[in-house]
Amino acid sequence: MRNDMPEGGMRYVRGATGIDTVRVNGEVVYTSDGGCVDVRPALLATT
């Protein structure tokens, strides 16, 4: 459990086994040995 939600809320977090890289739009955003990478490939939708 992580206590990192607004108003003191909690969330259940379970780590993934076997996942070593996460890509968004073809860009690496997370690696198992380096953690989060300082890349933000997603677009922000505004109205």
Q: Is the pTM of this model over 0.85?
A: no
Cα gap 19→34, rounded to integer Å: 13
**Mind listing the pLDDT tens digit for each residue in 4-44?**
777 878 888 777 788 888 888 888 888 888 888 887 777 77
**DSSP string across 21-47:** EEEETTEEEEETTTEE-S---SPPP--
pLDDT of residue 40: 76
